[in-house]
A and B are shown apart, each in its own frame.
Chain A
Amino acid sequence: MTRRESAIVTDPVTVSQPQPTRLVRVEAFSADRAFAKAFKAAVGAAVPAVGKVTDAPAGPVIWAEPKVVLASGDAAALAAALSDVAAVSDVSGAWRRIEVTGAGWRGRLMIDGLFDAENPAFATGCVAATMLHHAPVMLCPTGDEAVSVYVAPSFAEDLRAALAR
C-alpha cells in the first residue's frame, strides 16, 4: 500500500492572472442613516451588511471593515457626493483580482489558508478577509464554481503561483 485513496476532493480549478481592479474606498464618518442614504443615492446600492457584498450598477460593493466599504466607480464623483458623510479614496492600484473557477475552488482555498471556505454558507454575496499563503486577501464567491480573490499587488504573483500549483 503505497498510496491511499485521497480524502480530499481534487476537482480541477482554473486560476487567472491577477487583474487590476477599480475600487474606491469609502469610510463613513459615522455608520448612521445619513450615510446609508447618501451612499445608496451615490452608488445605487445599499451599504452591504457585515461580511456581505452587494451589487451596484458600477460593480460590486464589498464590506471591508467596520464603517468601510469598497465600491466600484469614479472616485472623484463619489468623493463629491459623499463629502459630508464619508472619506473617499481611490485605491484602484491597491488591489489585484484573481479569479479561481471550477468546482474545486473551495478546497483550493483551504490549502495554506485559515478560513472555512468549505462552509456552504459562504457563497455568492459573501466576503471574507483572511490570509492565504501568507498573503492578506479578501475572498468573494461569485458563483457556485467561482471566487474572486482580492490581494495586494505585491503579493499577487506569488499567490497566483501558489493557487495554481
Chain B
Amino acid sequence: MSGGQRLSTGGLIDRSQTLRFRFDGRDYTGHPGDTLASALLAGGVRVFGRSFKYHRTRGLLAAGVEEPSALVGAGEGGRFEPNTRATDLFLYDGLVAESQNRWPSLALDLGAVNQLIAPFIPAGFYYKTFLGPPSLWKLYEHVIRAAAGLGRPPHLPDPDRYERRAAFCDVLVVGAGPAGLSAALAAARSGARVALVDLDSQLGGSLLGDPAQIDGQPSKDWIAGVEAELRGLAVRILTRTTAIGYYDHDMVHLAERVTEPGALPGPDGIAQRMWRMRAGRVILAQGAIERPLPFEDNDRPGVMLSGAVRTYLERFGVAAGQRIVLATSSDDAYRTAIRLCDAGVRVEALLDGRPADGIDPALLRRARDRCPVETGVAPVRAVGPARGVTGLETRAAGGNVTYMADVVAVSGGLTPSVHLHMQAGGSLDWDEGQGIFTPKDPRQGQVSVGACAGRFRLAEALADAWRAGLVAAEATGHRPVADAPPRSEIWPFADQASAFVPAPGVNPKKVFVDPQNDVTLGDLDLAWREGYRSVEHMKRYTTLGMATDQGKTSNLMGLARLAQNEGRPAPQVGLTTFRPPFTPTTLGLWAGEDAGFHVTPLRRTPLYDLHAALDPPWQAVGYWRRPRAYLRSGETLATAALREARMVRTTVGITDVSTLGKFEVSGPDAAALLERVCATSVSKLAVGRGRYTFMLREDGLVNDDGTVWRLGEDRFLLTSSTGGADRMAGLISYVRNVLYPDLRVGAANVQEHYAAIAVAGPRARAVIAAVVEGMVPPRHMSLDRGVVAGVPVLVIAASYSGERAFEVYAPSHQAAAVWTALSDAAQAQDGGLYGLEALEILRVEKGHVETGGEIDGRTSAHDLRLEKMLNPRGGYMGQLAQQRRAFADPDRLQFVGLESLGGPIPEGSMLVERPGFAVQGHVTAAGLRVLEEGFIGLALLKGGRARLGDELLAWSPTRTASARVRVCEPHFHDPAGERYRD
C-alpha cells in the first residue's frame, strides 16, 4: 500500500471532532482544521484531478494557494464553485467536492487520449492548425469550445450575498506569519491603527507548518499570545482574507471568505466580502513559495514540494507517504527530512544537487544522524505509473540510481512572493546565486519584510519586520515604542542554489514546468525557436503561468529557461506583469451588492410612485426610470405611443419631465456668468421671459441645450437635458470657480429641488387656467408664478412637442398634488398622460435636436442649424474654437430631415447611395407623422444642408431593414411656430 496516512498524534487539527464529506461520490472523514487536501491525503487519495491539456493525472504539489494541480469543484447547485484549490478549502461537515477536467470519471477519462497525440499538439498548435476557409471555423468552434475552459460553471443562480466594504488604517500588514505578526505588533504597540490580514484560517503563516521557538516558547503559544495582544490593541484581524490587488494610493483589495466554498452562510447570508482597504503604509509579509525541480515526469502524483510535505506533517498530522525520498537544492528540505524522521516516517534518502562543500557541514551532520544523505545528486526521472510515483531515478558521479518511494519531495529553493510589491509599481533586484527576485524600490507606501523580501532566516525576518512596523507607525504619526523585537531560536541554514537546469540527457519534452497547463521545457524551447523572445509573448504562446495559479510555482523556471536560451541574464529577459487578483476570486465578490434589484441604483422622480401605480413599461435613462407609455387594454407600446402623441396634437397631454437639469443662477453677475456658459445671448432677456439656449464645450462643439429664464433682475433658471445634467453641473462649476472666480454670483443645482411637469397641446392653456389659481397662462417663452393644490409653482411656457405647452415646476416633495390636479384637469379636456415614446415622436416631427442624438459630441452649432442663435457679442465658452478650419469643412455631418419614400426608416441606419457604397451619414431618430400618413426621420448627413432633395438609402444590414428616403428640412410640423400662439 502507498499514499498518505494520518499519524496518531500531532498537528493543529481538532481530533475530538469528526467531519464527514464527499469527494467524487465517495465518503471520507476529517477533522476541524483540515483542508480538503489534507483530509483526502490522510484518506489515501493520491490522484486529485487531471491536467488541462493532456489530461494527465495530477496529485498534490503544494499545501497552499500556490497549488496548481489539485483543483476541485466545491458545493452544490448555485453555491457550486469550480477551480477551487483543495489546499485552500477548509473542511466542513457535509462538504461535497468533485474532481474536474475528466469525463466520465477521474480514473477513466476519455480526454486522456490526448496523451497519445501529445507529439502533435505542442505549444501553440492551435495557432497553426485552425487555419483555412472561414466557413470551417464553424466546425472548429464547437470542438474548441467543448475542450476549452477549466472546470464548469454553476448552472443555478447564486443564492448568497456578497458584500463590499470600505476600510481604513494607518498600517496594513499583509500576511500573518512570523514577520507579519512581528510588524503588526510593533506598529500596534506604537499606537497605529493596524489591520492584519491573512489568507489562512488562523494566524501563524509558515509557523503553522514549520514550528519554532520564539521568545522562549513554542511558536504555537507565541502566536496565541501575539494574537491576544493585537486584539487588545484593537487591531483589525482578518483571517481567510487574501490581499488580491494593490492599487494606486495604497488601496488594497482584500477578498474575505466569510464561508468556505460551497458552504451555507450564516443568517446574514454573506458568503464573501470585498474590503477596499486604504492604508497609510503597507507592510507586505506574504512569505515565499517553494519551486519544484526539473526532471522527467515531475508531474506524477506523489511528486510534492518539500515544504508541503512538512506542512502536512506538522499542521495536519498527515504523513504524505510511507517511503519518502527528498531531492533538493536548498537547505530548507533538510528541515523536512529531519521532521519526517523525528515523526517516524521513513526517509529513503535526502539527495542534494549541490556538492558537499557547498553545504554547511553542521546541517549535513544533523541530517545524516537521521537518514541517508547524498550530495551532488540530480533527479532524472520520476518512476511509476500514472496513478503515482514508485521511485526516483537519479544521476550522480557513479551513475544512475533509483530510489524506491511513494512520495518524492522536491525543493528547488524559495521564491519570494513579490506580487503585491510589483502591483504597487515596485522594482526588483535579481540574486543570481539563489535564483530569486527580491523587492527593490517601492513606488507607493509599501515595504516587504521577511521571506517575501528574501530574508529566509526566522530571526532575521522577525527583527526586520519589527523595524518596518516601527517605521510605518512613525510615518503615520505615531511614536515608535522602544521594545525589543521577538527573538527566535537560531537556525542558520537557509542557503539555496538555483536549480533551473535539468540533469544532462533529460528529455525536456517530459519535464513539466507548468503542471496546470501542461507546459514543458520542450514547449518553451519550441516557442523560443519559433521566435518568441519576449517573456510576455512566450507566456501567451505556450500558456505558461496562465489560469488559476498564474504561474506561482512555474514562472521563474520558465523565465530561467528563456534566459538560458537567449544567453542573457534573467533580469534582462524580464518578468511577466503581476496583475490582480493574486488568487482567483468569484465574480460574485466583484459584483458585491450590485446584483439583482441592486444591479444599478434606481433614481426615482418625485412622481415615481404615481407612475408605478399605473404599471407602465419603463425606460432606463441613466439611473432614472421613466414611463415609456401608459398602455390601455389591448394596446402595444407602439399603438399606445401613437395614441398619446395624437392626444397631444389634438387635445392635451401631461408628462413628467422632472429629470431635466435645472440650475438657479443668481447674484449681480448672474447674467454675466450665463453669457459665458451659454452660446446664446442672455443679458437682454427681460424679467419674466425665457429663450432656447445651447452651450458649447471649450473645443467649440455643442455640449447640451435647454432653456434660460429670467426669474428676476439678478436671478435666472437654466435648464438642460436629462442626460447632460451632470455634465452641465460640472461645466457651470468650472466656469464659475475656475475661469471666473471673481464673479459675484451663485449657481445652485436645483435639478432635484424641482419636479417638472409638461402640459402640452391645444388645450394646455385651458388646463393651466383651470388649475393654477388666478393665473392667466403666460404667453410662449414667458413665465409666471402661481399656486396649484396649495403648492407654490413656477409656470413657464415652453414647448418641446411643437404644441402650445407649459412646464410646471414645484418643490419635489410637494409635486404629487400638483400632478394629480393637472392630470384631472387634462382628463377633463379629453386629454391624459403621455410617456417618453410619444415625447420622442412629437419632437422628431417638430425637428428639435436632442442631446445624445443629434448633439452627439461631434456636431457644431452650424452643423445643427443653430448658428444664427450664437451670441454676436461672443465671450462664451467655445467661441474661439469655432474658428478652426475643420468647422468650415463642407463635408461635415449636418442636421437634416428625411422623408421615407416607402416604409419605416430604420433608426440608427447608415445613409448610402446603394448597399455597399460609402457611408454618407446616419439616421439619428426615426418616427412617423402623428396625424398624417408617412414615415420621417432626422439624420446627420455629410454636407446635408446643401443636399435637400437628394435621395438615399437608409440601410441597416444588421437588422436587414432599409428604406429609400429623400433629404428635406428637419421641421415636419408647424415650421412657422404658429401653434405656439394663442
Contacts and interface: CB of A to CB of B under 8 A. Distances in A.
Interface of A: 1-4, 6-8, 10, 20, 25-27, 29-30, 66, 68, 86-95, 110-116, 118-119, 133-135, 152-159, 162, 165
Contact of A91 (B236, B603, B744, B748): B748
B752 A154 contact: yes
Nearest to A115: B166
Interface stretch (B46-54, B87-95, B464-472, B580-588): B87-95
A8 B237 CA distance: 10
Contacts, number: 145
Contacts of A1: 32-33, 90-92, 201, 260
Given A1-B260, A7-B238, A154-B604, A91 B753 contact: yes
26 contacts: A1-B260, A4-B240, A7-B238, A10-B268, A27-B746, A27-B748, A29-B744, A29-B745, A29-B746, A66-B737, A86-B667, A87-B667, A87-B746, A89-B750, A89-B753, A92-B753, A92-B811, A94-B750, A115-B166, A116-B166, A116-B168, A119-B168, A133-B601, A153-B606, A153-B812, A165-B593
Contact of A93 (B164, B240, B755): B755
B746 A86 contact: yes
B258 interface: yes
Contact of B666 (A88, A113, A134): A88
B165 A110 contact: yes
A4 B745 contact: no
Contacts of A155: 601, 603
Interface string B168-180: 1000000000000
Interface in B713-743: 737, 742-743
A136 to B, nearest CB: 10
A20, A135, A158 interface centre (most CB from chain B within 10 Å): A158
Contacts of B92: 1-2
A89 B166 contact: no
A137 to B, nearest CB: 12
Contacts of B936: none
Contacts of B601: 133-135, 155, 158-159
Interface in B257-306: 258-260, 263-266, 268, 276, 278
Closest 4 CB pairs of A and B: A87-B746, A27-B746, A93-B811, A89-B748
A20 B606 CA distance: 12
Given A3-B266, A87-B666, A87-B667, A153 B752 contact: yes
Given A3-B258, A8-B165, A116-B278, 11 more contacts: A2-B260, A87-B665, A87-B747, A91-B748, A92-B753, A93-B606, A93-B750, A111-B165, A133-B601, A153-B604, A153-B813
Interface in B735-772: 737, 742-755
B605 interface: yes
Nearest to B605: A154
Contacts of B851: none
Interface in B54-97: 90-93
B166 A4 contact: no
Nearest to B264: A2
Contact of A118 (B167, B745, B746): B167
A20 B604 contact: no
B814 interface: yes
A158 B748 contact: no
B250 to A, nearest CB: 13
A130 to B, nearest CB: 9
Contacts of A154: 603-605, 623-624, 752
Given A87-B745, A111-B165, A92 B813 contact: yes
Contacts of B605: 154
Contacts of B665: 87
Nearest to B241: A7
A123 B747 CA distance: 30
B93 A2 contact: yes
Contacts of A7: 236-239, 256
Contact of B263 (A3, A29, A153, A159): A3
A4, A90, A119, A157 interface centre (most CB from chain B within 10 Å): A4
Nearest to B742: A30
B44 interface: no
Nearest to A157: B604
Contact of B814 (A29, A89, A93, A112): A93
B748 A111 contact: no
Contacts of A92: 753, 811, 813
Contacts of A112: 163-166, 592-593
B600 interface: yes
A68 B667 CA distance: 14
A152 B659 CA distance: 12
Contact of A94 (B167, B604, B753): B753
Contacts of B167: 110, 118
B263 to A, nearest CB: 5
Nearest to B195: A7
B598 interface: yes
Interface string B597-638: 010111111100000000000000001100000000000000
A131 B417 CA distance: 35
Contacts of B752: 93-95, 152-154
A138 to B, nearest CB: 14
Contacts of B745: 29, 87
B807 interface: no
Given A87-B745, A113-B166, A153-B606, A29 B90 contact: no
Contacts of B163: 111-112
Nearest to B17: A1
Given A1-B91, A154-B604, A114 B166 contact: yes
A87 B598 contact: no
Contacts of B623: 134, 154
A100 B751 CA distance: 26
A3 B744 contact: no
Nearest to B236: A7
A134 B602 CA distance: 10
A15 B256 CA distance: 27
Given A90-B753, A112-B165, A4 B593 contact: no
B664 interface: yes
Contacts of A20: 813
Nearest to A96: B813
B263 A91 contact: no
B259 A118 contact: no
Nearest to A85: B744
B258 A4 contact: yes
B775 to A, nearest CB: 20
Nearest to A120: B193
B961 to A, nearest CB: 37
B277 to A, nearest CB: 11
B92, B238, B811 interface centre (most CB from chain A within 10 Å): B811
Contacts of A10: 268
Given A89-B746, A93-B812, A162 B90 contact: no
B602 A158 contact: yes
Contacts of A111: 163-165, 593
B450 to A, nearest CB: 23
A157 B666 CA distance: 31
A89 B666 contact: yes
Contact of B754 (A93, A95, A162): A93
B663 to A, nearest CB: 9
B263 A133 contact: no
A112 B748 CA distance: 28
Contacts of B93: 2
A162 B600 CA distance: 12
Contact of A87 (B258, B748, B755): B748
Contacts of A134: 600-601, 623
Interface in B313-358: none
Contacts of B749: 94
A116 B277 CA distance: 10
A121 B239 CA distance: 27
A94 B164 CA distance: 28
Given A7-B238, A29-B745, A110-B167, A89 B664 contact: yes
